[in-house]
Amino acid sequence: MPWEIKFIQALQSFDSAPILYFNKAMTSLGEVYFFLVFLSVSWVIAPRRFSIHFTFLLLFTVLVNTVLKEIFLRPRPFVLNPHLQLFAAEGYSFPSGHSQIAVVFWGYLAYYVRNKRFTILCLALMLFIGISRTYLGVHYPTDVLSGWFMGLVCLALYFASQNFWQQYHKTTAIFFVVAAMISVQFFHTELLVPALGGLVGTIIGCYLAAQYLNFTLATSKSNNILRIAVSIIGTLLLYFCGKEFFPRTDMIRFVHYALILLWMSFMAPKLCCWKGSND
């Protein structure tokens, strides 16, 4: 651990406003606001299959990371040396959630797009997001390395299990809903409860969409812009109003994120696909 503190201090010796701003910008790509906006856009303008797989993969990754943090209980570097902290962070340190999710998020996008230049960009973002967490003093280098590794593991598990999910998706969905409802009574971590709520909201949204939604891609740029605006505004209203006006008990947080993902996966696409909305 002492060498890791020295490593962080060595990184922070490159002390300039542009470098600090760059690292904060990189780390912001792993904040909840970024993913809320991205998924809000994806659910209303991208193919449903992509959004479903991407959302479940991200939620699975968050759940894995949160469970690992609760197992290892490693404090963040600034707990030992408060002078290292250059960015706000809560919870435990190992493994780095930003690094793990960066590999999953940008790795899946690179796989889906399959463009050489875009893949290079995605790899660079994975690297810089991880490094930014160490530069800002919120993660040890080994946190970042383990986060990258676990991101690769999550991607590998996802690709290896696609046939299973497609064959048993209904049974699996019921299992996850029941397990999430039980788990929220026993686990009280900052990220696990919202992730479980988001998982349940997505499952319910996908079920309702299968019954009541005839989703079609927009036929014009103007309609895509309208869809994006409607979806993002609804998501942000739900997110900020829920945080502002309701008590932050575990069950309320669970329902809060379930409603946000239900909006993204069913209500927003349904609103955007009303008769005449594609004209």
Q: Is residue 145 part of a domain?
A: yes
Which residue, 150, 165, 180, sits at the end of a domain? 165
**How far, in whole angstroms, is CA 192 from its chain's centroid?**
12
The whole-number pLDDT of residue 184 equals 52
Say which DSSP state 84 is in.
G
Does residue 36 lie in a domain region? no
In a structure prediction context, what are the per-residue pLDDT tens digits for the chain, which is 279 residues long? 688 888 999 998 888 899 999 999 999 999 999 999 999 999 999 999 899 989 999 998 998 898 898 889 899 998 888 888 888 888 889 999 999 999 999 999 999 999 999 999 999 999 999 999 999 999 999 999 999 999 999 999 888 877 766 655 555 556 555 555 555 555 556 677 888 889 889 999 998 998 888 888 877 888 889 899 999 999 999 999 888 877 778 788 889 999 999 999 999 999 887 744 444
Give the alpha-carbon dihedral of 154, 159, 161, 167, to 10 degrees. Answer: 140
As given in the structure block, the two tokens for residue 232 are 């993002």
* 142 lies in some domain: yes
Q: Is residue 80 part of a domain?
A: yes
Residue 158 lies in a domain: yes
- Domain co-membership, 207 together with 268: yes
Q: Are 177 and 156 in the same domain? A: no
Q: Do 276 and 190 share a domain, yes or no? A: yes
Domain that holds residue 232: 168-279
3-state secondary structure of 246: coil
- Looking at the fold, whether 83 and 129 belong to one and the same domain comes out as yes
93 and 19 in one domain? yes
pTM: 0.87
Q: What is the Cα–Cα distance from 9 to 2, expressed in whole angstroms?
A: 11
Angle between helices 192-212 and 48-72 (to 10 degrees): 160
Whether 160 and 177 map to the same domain: the answer is no
Q: For the chain, how far is it from start to end, CA to CA, in angstroms?
A: 60
Question: 47 — phi, psi (to 5°)?
Answer: -55, 140
Number of separate domains in the chain: 2
Same domain, 6 and 107: yes
Question: Are 15 and 102 members of one domain?
Answer: yes
Residue 52 lies in a domain: no
- 115 in the same domain as 191: no
d(CA 40, CA 34): 10
Q: List, as one string, the DSSP characters of 11-55.
A: HHTS--HHHHHHHHHHHHTTSHHHHHHHHHHHHHHS-HHHHHHHH
- Predicted pLDDT of residue 252: 87
Q: Is there a contact between 41 and 228 (Cβ–Cβ < 8 Å)?
A: yes
Q: What is the CATH number of the domain that holds 132?
A: 1.20.144.10
Indicate whether 88 and 179 sit together in one domain: no
Domain final position from 138, 165, 192: 165
Tokens of 265: 């996966």
The residue out of 135, 165, 195 marking a domain boundary is: 165
- The answer to whether residue 136 sits within a structural domain is yes
Q: Are residues 221 and 142 both part of a single domain?
A: no
Residue 55 belongs to a domain: no
- The Cα–Cα gap between 124 and 122 comes to 5
Q: Are residues 200 and 90 in the same domain?
A: no
Q: What is the pLDDT of residue 176?
A: 58
- Tell me how far apart the alpha carbons of residues 209 and 269 are, in angstroms, rounded to a whole number: 9
